[in-house]
Amino acid sequence: MREALSALTTRGRAFLAAGLTIAICAFVLGFDALLRVGILAIALPLLTALVVSRARYRLTATRSVSPTRVSAGQPATVSLHLANDGSMPMGLVLLEDHVPYVLGTRARFLLDHAGPRWHQRVSYTVRSELRGRYEIGPLSLRVSDPFGLIELVRSFHHTTAVVVIPQVHPLTPIPVTGAWTGAGENRPRAFAIGSAEDITVREYRRGDDLRRVHWPSSARVGELMVRREEQPWQSRATILLDSRSLAHRGSGPASSLEWAISAAASVAVHLAQAGFAVRLVTDRPGIDAHAWHDRSMNAVGQAGPILDELAVLTDSTCTTLTDAVGAVVDQSGLTIAVLGRLQAADVTDLARVSSYGSRVLAIVLDTSQWGPPSRPARPAAATAGRSRVPRERSAAELASLLGGNGWSATTAGPQESPTVVWERLGALVLHGGGRATPAAAEQQASVAATAGVPR
Report pLDDT digits (tens) over 21-66: 998 998 888 888 888 888 888 888 888 877 776 666 678 889 999 9
Q: Tell me: the pLDDT tens digits for 312-328?
A: 999 999 999 988 888 88
Q: How far is CA 358 from the centre of its chain?
A: 30
Provide mean pLDDT across the span 163-184. 73
CB 413 within 8 A of CB 382: no
Task: Quick: pLDDT tens for 175-196.
Answer: 875 434 444 343 333 333 334 4
C-alpha dihedral, 41 to 44 to 49 to 50, nearest 10°: 130
d(CA 30, CA 299): 84
**Under a CB-based contact definition with an 8 Å cutoff, are residues 400 and 410 in contact?**
no
Helix (H, G, I), strand (E, B) or coil at 286: coil
More confident residue, 250 or 235: 250
Residue 132 CB-half CA count within 13 A: 14
How would residue 125 be classed by pLDDT, with cut points 50, 70 and 90? very high
Q: Does position 433 have pLDDT exceeding 70, yes or no?
A: no
Signed CA dihedral, 291, 296, 301, 304: sign only? negative
Look up the CATH architecture of domain 59-165.
Sandwich (2.60)
Query: What are the sequence ranges of the domains in the chain?
Result: 2-54, 59-165, 188-227, 236-373+392-451
The pLDDT assigned to 10 comes to 84
CATH architecture of 236-373+392-451: 3-Layer(aba) Sandwich (3.40)
Enumerate residues 6+ apart whose C-beta is below 8 A from 451.
Answer: none
pLDDT of residue 45: 84
- pLDDT value of residue 247: 92
